[in-house]
Structure 1
Amino acid sequence: MNVLAIDSSNLVMGVAVTTEDKVLAELTTNSRKNHSERLMPAIAQMVEAAGLKPEDLDRIVVAEGPGSYTGLRIGVTVAKMIAWTRKKELVGVSSLEVVAQNGRGFAGYIAPFFDARRGQVFAGLYEEKEGEIIPAAADRLVMIKDWLPELRKCGRPVLFLSNDLEKWGKLIAEEAYATLGESTQNVPRAAELARIGLRKTPVSDIHHFLPMYLRLAEAEAKWLAKQGR
């Protein structure tokens, strides 16, 4: 099976083309550039680099969130467009679950997170069992000042993985149970996204597949506030 994996859910943009047992092509960028302008050319480049044509793809796997509202809409929209027009399978994977794969081998909990502004983080909690990284709790939006004391009560070491450690690393490092990920561990890999997506069931209705925002867009929240809701 030929898989195209797409991740534009956060600052890091990743595209990979893989099979069940081989990474054919992979691209990762970690810079403040416009995903809307760069994603489609990156996809075309990776498919060509893999020696394939769009019709050779069998499954499209996309990072479904949480993350940047705009980034999620771009990635999910592109993935749905390709899956629908090419009649391919579509699979969504948690963006936090992708980052958690970089903690494989850690003896404790793995806590991937993304900064969500205003003191909040999109937070996950995972652990390794029988060689697989599985959820220990549901992904959620939480105040970091509340999240860290909660993890303190778990009684296990916790590996924090995030491209946003520059902002939150100093605070987290004050916790005795905490280990901070290395730079290469904090960046999600599109090839890992593809690998996870191979194990998941495709969505039954491509048109109704939506990103996992975990919160309203700022404009929606302001509109609801004006309505007194």
Structure 2
Amino acid sequence: MRILALDSSGLVASVAVVEEEQTIAEYTVNYKKTHSQTLLPMLDEIVKMTEMNLGEIDAIAVAGGPGSFTGLRIGSATAKGLGLALKKPLIHIPTVDGLAYNLYGNEGVICPIMDARRNQVYTGIYRFREEFVVEEPQMAIEISALAEKLNERGEQVTFLGDGVPVYKEQLEQLLHVPVRFAPSHMNRQRAAAVGTLAVQYWKEGKIERAEDHQPDYLRMSQAERERLEREEKEQQGK
């Protein structure tokens, strides 16, 4: 089994090819370029370096949200285009699940946080027992409410994600449980983690047709919120 994995849901752009027992290649960039500039060139480089025929892959895994609206659209369009062209199914991996999977085998609670602005984060609550467990599925939540949830659990928690630099001090003040932060090589999105989790999804039959794939935004974009606010004001003015 061979899976091509893409993640452009956040600040990081990442492409990987994974098999059940190993990662064949991974190309990850965390730099100030748009994912439309990086994703396909990264894939092209992997194909060249590994002398791979894309027709030989079994499926395409994509981090399907939440995250950056633009990044999700780019990842979704790329995965759908490849799926349609290659006639391969897609595997939709929730972004926060894929991020948590970086910490496979970690003790205690795993809590990825992605900065969603307005003092909110995209997050979920996970742990590893004999397998990966989603204790609370991904959500958009205020940082204070997340801290309250974690305090109620009374367990050690490990944070990772691009929300850490933004909310680290606030979390340290709000939390009354032991807190750890993942090291730099594990604290951002990686397509290899998305692809490895996708192997499990494949075994469970969690696949979709390329034409059916839609990103999960979890909440409206700023432009959509502003449009609704304008419409509400217009209605009130009548």
Q: What range is the shorter-chain TM-score in?
A: over 0.9
Distance (Å, rounded) in 1 between the aligned partners of 2:46 and 2:127? 31
Aligned-partner Cα distance in 2 for 1:107–1:2: 29
Q: Please state whether the residue corresponding to 1:47 is helix, strand or coil.
A: helix
Choose between structure 1 and 2: higher helix proportion.
Answer: 2
**CA positional deviation for 1:188:** 2.2
SS in 2 for 1:15: strand
State the alpha-carbon separation in 2 of the partners of residues 105 and 17 from structure 1: 22
Q: Secondary structure at the match of 2:147?
A: helix
Secondary structure in structure 1 of the residue aligned to 2:46: helix
Distance 1:104 1:23, change over 3 A: closer
Pick closer, same or farther for the CA change 1:202–1:149 going to 2, 3 Å.
closer
Structure 1 match to 2:71: 71
* Alignment partner of 1:193 is 2:194: yes
Q: CA RMSD in A?
A: 1.5
Report the 3-state secondary structure (helix = DSSP H, G, I; strand = E; otherwise coil) of the residue aligned with 2:153. coil
Paired amino acid for 2:25: A
Q: State the 1:87 CA deviation.
A: 0.2
Moved more, 185-194 or 139-148: 185-194
Hey, what's the Cα distance between the residues in 1 that align with 2:33 and 2:144?
30
Match of 1:161 in 2: 160
Aligned residue for 1:146, secondary structure, equals helix
How far residue 91 of structure 1 moved from its aligned partner, in angstroms, is 0.5
The answer for the alignment partner of 2:6 in structure 1 is 6
> Where in structure 2 are the equivalents of 1:12-31 lying within 5 Å?
12-31=12-31
2:103 equivalent in structure 1: 103
Aligned residues of 1:93 and 1:193 also touching (Cα < 8 A): yes
Whether contact under 8 Å (2:113, 2:164) holds in the other structure is no
Can you list the C-alpha shifts for 1:106-142, whole angstroms capped at 9, x where unaligned? 3211001100001010011001110x22210111000
Larger radius of gyration: 2
Query: 1:226: how far off?
Result: 2.2
- Give the equivalent residue in structure 2 for 1:214: 218
Whether contact under 8 Å (1:17, 1:50) holds in the other structure is: no
1:185 maps to a residue whose letter is M
| Aligned pairs (5 A) from 1:34-113 | 34-113=34-113
Q: Secondary structure, in 3 states, of the residue corresponding to 2:79?
A: helix
Distance 1:20 1:198 in 2: 6
The residue that corresponds to 1:183 in the other structure is 184
The structural deviation recorded for 1:6 is 0.3
Given that 1:17 and 1:47 are in contact with CA atoms closer than 8 Å, whether structure 2 keeps it comes out as: no
Runs of 5+ consecutive residues of structure 2 not aligned to the other structure: none
- In 1: Cα distance, 2:231 partner to 2:80 partner: 33
| Matching of residue 149 in structure 1 with residue 148 in structure 2 | yes
Distance in 2 (CA, whole Å) between partners of 1:16 and 1:208 is 22
Superposition TM-score, scaled by structure 1 size: 0.94
Q: Alpha-carbon deviation of 1:202? A: 4.5
Shift of 1:104: 2.7
Whole-angstrom distance in 1 between the partners of 2:149 and 2:18: 38
- State TM-score, norm by structure 2: 0.90
